[in-house]
Structure 1
Amino acid sequence: MKLLEEVKKNSSKWMKTKGYKYQNFYWQDGYAAFSVDLTRMDGLVRYIENQFQHHQEISFQNECRGIYKKYQMPYDERYVWD
């Protein structure tokens, strides 16, 4: 847990050096971790590159709900979102 806290803190500081539009950048309180099959890395890179546009069509929350449902992962809405 301490390592994740350090990653979030340091990456927030770094993001804020990237320009005015990132001055209010922050990570949400919660987090989730998913593994990625290395044979699908190209698709993951495309997903990240197009993430802003993708989330214009489906919210981050609804996308996560779909992943949780697809893989039958239990979760509690009270602890997932800020």
Structure 2
Amino acid sequence: MHAYLGGCAKSLDCLPLQVGGVADHVHLITTLSRTIAIAEFVKEVKRVSTNWIQERGGLLRQFHWQSGYGCFSVSESKVADVIRYIENQPEHHRKVTFQDEYRELLRRHGQSWDEAYVWD
């Protein structure tokens, strides 16, 4: 799946630097082509990968991504740190849940949110 998501990014002219995650979420760090908006990039990666996953059959026919997503720009000086973070997702999430980590990230950056709309 991670390789397929990287291929989706590449087909949109966005260079995948690292793709990884765990059962309940994925992370992609990519470049962003000058010809595509972030929302369009996410929409297309979700659309194409949903079709690919559902074609696998069985219980996967029920697969869908949640409607929301998080997107963050990364300074060039921090790319290697983010790549390591993505590579270490299984170990990392044994210590802190994705939901708790995301809430803390939002808090740290002064963002407000409504729990009713963050998780679907």
- What TM-score, normalized to structure 2? 0.54
How many residues are matched?
78
What is the CA deviation profile of residues 32-60 of structure 1, one whole-angstrom value per residue up to 9, with x for unaligned ones? Answer: 21111111111100000011221121111
Change (3 A) 1:35 1:2: closer
2:76 corresponds to 1:38? yes
CA distance in structure 2 between the aligned counterparts of 1:30 and 1:67, rounded to whole angstroms = 16
2:101 corresponds to 1:28? no
Structure that is richer in helix per residue: 1
Change (3 A) 1:38 1:13: farther
In the alignment, structure 2 segments of 5+ residues that lack a partner are 1-37
Identify the structure with bigger relative contact order (alpha carbons < 8 Å, sequence gap 6+): 1
For the aligned residues, what is the CA RMSD? 2.5
CA distance in structure 2 between the aligned counterparts of 1:7 and 1:52, rounded to whole angstroms = 23
